[in-house]
Amino acid sequence: MIVFHGGVSEIRHPDTRHSNSSVDFGPAFYLTSFREQAEKWARRRSLRLRKQPCVNEYELAEDWSGFRVLRFDGPDEPWFDFVCSCRMDGAEWQKYDIIMGRVANDDVYLTINRYLDGMMSKESALAELRFSRPNDQIAINSQKALDSLLSFKCVHLLEAHNA
C-alpha cells in the first residue's frame, strides 16, 4: 500500500516523538492514501513555516497480523467518540499500533468543537459530518509499526511557500 505524509522536510526514519498530543488519533506519525491530501497538508504547513513543501511517499506493508489495528469505516459514532476523546488528551489510542479512519479536517474540527462546547447534539454533529469530502488518515502509534514502512522517496512540490 502506497501512503503519503505531507510536510516541509524529508522524513526517512519517521517516529512518533514529533507529534502533537491532542490530535484525531493521538500522538502518531500520520499518513494518508490520498496524495492530493498530503500535498494540501504540505502546502498548508509550508505557508505557516515559510519552507518548501514536500510529500514523503512510503510503501506500507499490508500484513498487519502482528499489530493491534483499529479501523473506522466512516464518520460514525464510534469514530466521533474516539476523535473527541483523543482531542481532549484521552489515552484510548495507546491500545493500538495503527489507527485508520477519516480525518477530522477544519470543518469537522469546528463541528466537534461545537459538540464539545454543548452547542450541538451528537446526532446533529454526525449528520453534518456525513456530507464532508472523503479522506483518510493512518496514524502509526508505535515504532514497531513504523518500522514496517518498506520504501521511501520524497517529492518536493513546485510551489514555494510564498507562491
Query: Tens digits of per-residue pLDDT, 100-148?
Result: 998 876 667 788 888 889 999 988 888 877 666 678 999 999 999 998 8
User: Residue 112 sits in which domain range?
Assistant: 2-156
Question: 3-state class of 117 per DSSP?
Answer: coil
Residue 96 lies in a domain: yes
Helix 77-87 with 122-129: angle, nearest 10 deg = 100
Q: At residue 163, does pLDDT exceed 90?
A: no
Query: Tens digits of per-residue pLDDT, 61-104?
Result: 888 899 999 999 888 889 989 998 998 889 999 999 999 998 87
Query: Tens digits of per-residue pLDDT, 15-64?
Result: 888 888 778 899 999 999 999 999 999 999 999 999 999 999 999 988 88
Contact 15, 83 (CB under 8 A): no
Residue 161 lies in a domain: no
Nearest in space to 84 (alpha carbons), one of 126, 54, 133? 126
First to last CA, the chain: 32
Residue 70 lies in a domain: yes
Residue 8 lies in a domain: yes
Q: Based on the structure, what is the number of domains in the chain? A: 1
Instruction: Give the DSSP H or E segment for 85.
Output: helix 77-87
pLDDT at 116: 86
Beta-strand runs (E) in 26-148? 29-31, 54-60, 69-71, 98-101, 137-140
Residue 49 lies in a domain: yes
Q: At residue 159, does pLDDT exceed 80?
A: no
Residue 119 lies in a domain: yes
Residue 73 lies in a domain: yes
Q: At residue 162, does pLDDT exceed 80?
A: no
Residue 72 lies in a domain: yes
